Chains A and B, each alone.
Chain A
Amino acid sequence: MRRAALVAGLVVAIAYPVAVQMTGYTYFQTVGFLVLIYATLGIGWNFIGGWAGQFDFGPHIFLATGAYTAALAAVHWSWSPWLGMAAGIVVSMVICALITFPVTRLRGHYFAIATVAMWMIAQPIGATWELINGSRGLFIPLTPATSSWEAIWTLGWGGRSKAFAYYYVALGLFAAAMVLAYRVDRSKLGYYFRAIRDDQEGAEAIGIDSRVYKTLARCLTAAVFAAGGVIYGFWALAVFPDQVLEMNWAVLPMISTVLGGIGRLWGPLLGAFILIPISQVMSATLGTGPLAGRGLDVIVYGIIIMAVAAFRPNGLLSLPWARWFGRG
């Protein structure tokens, strides 16, 4: 049953953009792209937040690190985004390890504010550092590829094929993050993370160094955010601090994960699958017409979020799905 659902899901995920391409509404591919990107980031955040149980409000500094690394390499040395992604992941993980280990002494809310602190320190660096062009940011030149192989190597799709292609790039990234999460979840590492979350003293008593494993969990988060940042940067063709250090890059993956079910493998996807389309629909229905500009779209969005939180504080995956859809 599980396997059948997984295969069915995979078929739908792969066939979806093809079906959309025929109708010409490429926008729906882009929504799919966005859902997958946020779901991927949510999976990333699940490592530190869901499994290791630490409040991390500043994971998007690694999104920025990844995006900037790849963009710099592309602008100055015309590196392929894939090489840039590799570099971005390494750089983010190293920076993460260096800055996270010292603050793992802090626990609970104190740790949370330490991650906010890193974000607040990253902001002026992004806005004033001349190497990355300060707040004016880096613009990635759009060079249309001549062959489809080249396009895959440079991610250089333009026009109507772009949404189609980027959907699959995001799907690939999502699958990779999913596999990583699945393996970590089943491994000793995942067990250590959960042990720290549930009872830090107990975990230490059986010889788990909580500081090392918290740092490791956050570095996994950093790696996923960096990869997501690279794809986002090349999709938007622009990386500037107001953009990549924006609070929503931390908040949306976080609330997607919480909505779906924190610490659950499929939680981030379910959450993003609901939140992202809703905000699009809101903008297209309540944010337009004679009532445009009154913020109604976001007001209703806020109400939906509060309602879900009030009725299902443990996320939607905690609902008795199996009972509804039968066991067979």
Chain B
Amino acid sequence: MRRYRIVVPILLAALVVGLGLERAKAQAPKEVLIGVLLPLTGNFASLGQQYLWSNQTVEDIVNNDYPDLNVPLGPGKGFPGLAGAAMKLVVRDDQSRGDLARTLVEQLITVNKVHWIDGEGTSGNTSIIQPVVEGYGIPLSCHPCASPTLTEKGFKWFWRTGPHDRVMVDSVFQFLKDWPKHGGPTDLKTVAVFTCDNLFCQDNHKIALEHAAQAGFKVVADLTTKTGATTLASEVQRLQAANPDVLFFVQYPAETAVFQADAKRAGWMPKVIATSNGAYSDQTWLEAQKKTNGGAAWLGRDPTAIDLASKKPSWKKVNEIYKKYSRGQEMGELAMRQITGMLWMADTINRAKSVDPAALNKAAAETNLSPEMLIIDYKGVRFNKSNQNELATGVVTQIGWDGEKHTIWPWELAKQAGYTPMYPNPSWQERDAKPKPAR
């Protein structure tokens, strides 16, 4: 029993030291501290890790000299506006849990005394930390958070450079509505909406139903599934029976794989599959489609025309930096949104020439970034009254036989991309028969 006499004090001492270290860090001068709160473990870890890599990329860009990289703070080391101060990420993992997120954000603010908070990466937990950060009065940003409600509650300190779901779902239905005038099919009349059941999915679900009606589509099926489905065979059976022309599909990568397997087994493929985020934004899912052709001709909303953006030299360079942190994974669209947002933040801090919260918020409000400085093709960054970037746009892309996304809307960008949309969706046999882009 003697050993407990030693173990208990050691544990207590470790606790004290652990918390003490945090204080010491907070006092380190000459650094701009960015509190980063992300779901690095638990259910949303696959999102959290991409945002972490993005943030590490931006930290690298700001703190190191990239002379010919045309993004904010690319050339030169540190923040010139703050006498070369470096940017330092203070990362916290909330295990995808709201109570931890809510607590850790308070730690970042009061103990670590960070100057800016970026997080939480998912709309749900972001809505929990919003009132806390608002209460303490320091800037908060979540760029890939897509729920429209985040910027509709009148928070003064919350900023978002990325587009929200309303913009993005709207672009899909705009495209479908105008497609006949631009050489598309004229016989698309019915739509089925097939979504998962959490906050993000149901936001999309609601908006999709509204826009489908506005665009003149008849909704023939509306199915919501629980996240974590082990089979979707019966759902496919119902969708097949409803026989929609367009399937509006919002599911995470795991469920998308299940859906594909079950649809293939049933031999079903609707004429058009339109998606929003979820698997379509997930780089690993996209890579996997190159081995099976399973994603060919799927179309979906994206915040950027990735085929055009990736021609920019700055995009290529940022992608190289990103791959240092992502263990070789390419920069996907979620990472692009996050990196763009973080670079905007760096620019804002630099312009504020201070880490005083009021100065930061003022600089943020005065933002007017031109599109040339971005790695994503927003029309720029400029905020409306609710701190939403009004120049963030949605585009519609389609996956081609080469496994890459191609821009098909807006029409002028589609012309630049020079890609003709595939229609209708190829059958499963055709997908199997065609050569696969990877191997």
Are A160 and B136 in contact, with the CB atoms below 8 A?
yes
A288-313 Cβ-contact flags toward B at 8 Å (1 or 0): 11001101011000000000000000
Are B92 and A135 in contact, with the CB atoms below 8 A?
no
Are B136 and A127 in contact, with the CB atoms below 8 A?
no
Segment with Cβ contacts to B, from A93-101, A185-193, A207-215, A231-239: A231-239
Are A283 and B124 in contact, with the CB atoms below 8 A?
no
Are A280 and B103 in contact, with the CB atoms below 8 A?
yes
Are B52 and A34 in contact, with the CB atoms below 8 A?
no
Q: How far is the CA of A277 from the CA of B94 in the complex (A)?
A: 13
**Would you call B106 an interface residue if the criterion is a C-beta within 8 Å of the partner chain's C-beta atoms?**
yes
Are B15 and A134 in contact, with the CB atoms below 8 A?
no
Segment with Cβ contacts to A, from B194-202, B414-422, B424-432: B194-202
**Would you call A31 an interface residue if the criterion is a C-beta within 8 Å of the partner chain's C-beta atoms?**
yes
Are A27 and B15 in contact, with the CB atoms below 8 A?
no
Q: How far is the CA of A72 from the CA of B289 in the complex (A)?
A: 44
Q: How far is the CA of A276 from the CA of B111 in the complex (A)?
A: 17
Closest 6 CB pairs of A and B: A287-B93, A281-B18, A292-B91, A159-B135, A127-B197, A27-B107
Are B203 and A136 in contact, with the CB atoms below 8 A?
yes
Residue in A139, A246, A283, A292 whose CB lies within 8 Å of B127: A139
Are A236 and B91 in contact, with the CB atoms below 8 A?
no
**Would you call A9 an interface residue if the criterion is a C-beta within 8 Å of the partner chain's C-beta atoms?**
no
Are A30 and B4 in contact, with the CB atoms below 8 A?
no
Contacts of A243 in B (CB 8 A): 98, 124, 128
Are A136 and B202 in contact, with the CB atoms below 8 A?
yes
Are A232 and B93 in contact, with the CB atoms below 8 A?
no
**Would you call A279 an interface residue if the criterion is a C-beta within 8 Å of the partner chain's C-beta atoms?**
yes
**Would you call B365 an interface residue if the criterion is a C-beta within 8 Å of the partner chain's C-beta atoms?**
no
A31, closest chain B residue (CB): B103
Shortest CB–CB separation between residue B375 and chain A, in angstroms? 22
Contacts of A162 in B (CB 8 A): 135
**Would you call B336 an interface residue if the criterion is a C-beta within 8 Å of the partner chain's C-beta atoms?**
no
Residue in A124, A237, A281 whose CB lies within 8 Å of B15: A281
Residue in A24, A240, A278 whose CB lies within 8 Å of B124: A240
Are B99 and A284 in contact, with the CB atoms below 8 A?
no
Q: Provided the pairs A135-B199, A295-B40 are in contact, do residues A27 and B93 lie with their beta carbons within 8 angstroms?
A: no
Are A27 and B111 in contact, with the CB atoms below 8 A?
yes
Task: Place the interface of chain A in its size category.
Answer: 35 or more
Q: Provided the pairs A27-B111, A285-B18, A324-B5 are in contact, do residues A236 and B202 lie with their beta carbons within 8 angstroms?
A: no
**Would you call B97 an interface residue if the criterion is a C-beta within 8 Å of the partner chain's C-beta atoms?**
yes
Shortest CB–CB separation between residue A18 and chain B, in angstroms? 16
Contacts of B49 in A (CB 8 A): 293
Are A292 and B110 in contact, with the CB atoms below 8 A?
no
Q: Interface of chain A, helix or strand or loop or mixed?
A: helix
Contacts of A287 in B (CB 8 A): 40, 91-93
Q: How far is the CA of A30 from the CA of B53 in the complex (A)?
A: 29
Are B226 and A283 in contact, with the CB atoms below 8 A?
no
Contacts of B127 in A (CB 8 A): 139, 238
Contacts of A135 in B (CB 8 A): 197-199, 201-202
**Would you call B21 an interface residue if the criterion is a C-beta within 8 Å of the partner chain's C-beta atoms?**
yes
Contacts of B111 in A (CB 8 A): 25, 27-28
Shortest CB–CB separation between residue A296 and chain B, in angstroms? 9
**Would you call A328 an interface residue if the criterion is a C-beta within 8 Å of the partner chain's C-beta atoms?**
no
Are B124 and A134 in contact, with the CB atoms below 8 A?
no
Are A123 and B226 in contact, with the CB atoms below 8 A?
yes
Are A236 and B128 in contact, with the CB atoms below 8 A?
yes
Residue in A127, A283, A292, A324 whose CB lies within 8 Å of B100: A283
**Would you call A13 an interface residue if the criterion is a C-beta within 8 Å of the partner chain's C-beta atoms?**
no
Are B131 and A142 in contact, with the CB atoms below 8 A?
yes
- 16 residue pairs of the A-B complex, CB under 8 angstroms, read A25-B110, A30-B102, A123-B226, A127-B198, A136-B202, A137-B124, A160-B135, A242-B199, A243-B124, A246-B97, A279-B100, A280-B104, A293-B49, A295-B40, A319-B4, A323-B1
**Would you call B22 an interface residue if the criterion is a C-beta within 8 Å of the partner chain's C-beta atoms?**
yes
**Would you call B283 an interface residue if the criterion is a C-beta within 8 Å of the partner chain's C-beta atoms?**
no
Q: How far is the CA of A65 from the CA of B124 in the complex (A)?
A: 19
89-138 of chain A: CB within 8 A of chain B = 123-124, 127-128, 134-137
Q: How far is the CA of A80 from the CA of B127 in the complex (A)?
A: 22
Are A128 and B197 in contact, with the CB atoms below 8 A?
yes
Q: How far is the CA of A30 from the CA of B104 in the complex (A)?
A: 9
Are A34 and B199 in contact, with the CB atoms below 8 A?
no
A26, closest chain B residue (CB): B110
A32-56 Cβ-contact flags toward B at 8 Å (1 or 0): 0010000000000000000000000
Shortest CB–CB separation between residue B368 and chain A, in angstroms? 31
**Would you call A248 an interface residue if the criterion is a C-beta within 8 Å of the partner chain's C-beta atoms?**
yes
Q: How far is the CA of A31 from the CA of B198 in the complex (A)?
A: 28
A311-325 Cβ-contact flags toward B at 8 Å (1 or 0): 000000001100110
Are B41 and A288 in contact, with the CB atoms below 8 A?
no
**Would you call A172 an interface residue if the criterion is a C-beta within 8 Å of the partner chain's C-beta atoms?**
no
Are A238 and B128 in contact, with the CB atoms below 8 A?
yes
Are B226 and A124 in contact, with the CB atoms below 8 A?
yes
**Would you call A163 an interface residue if the criterion is a C-beta within 8 Å of the partner chain's C-beta atoms?**
yes
Q: How far is the CA of A133 from the CA of B41 in the complex (A)?
A: 28
Residue in B4, B106, B131, B137 whose CB lies within 8 Å of A163: B106
Q: Provided the pairs A136-B202, A136-B203, A292-B40 are in contact, do residues A280 and B107 lie with their beta carbons within 8 angstroms?
A: yes
Q: How far is the CA of A324 from the CA of B336 in the complex (A)?
A: 58
**Would you call A202 an interface residue if the criterion is a C-beta within 8 Å of the partner chain's C-beta atoms?**
no
Q: How far is the CA of A295 from the CA of B14 in the complex (A)?
A: 20
Residue in B18, B45, B106, B198 whose CB lies within 8 Å of A242: B198
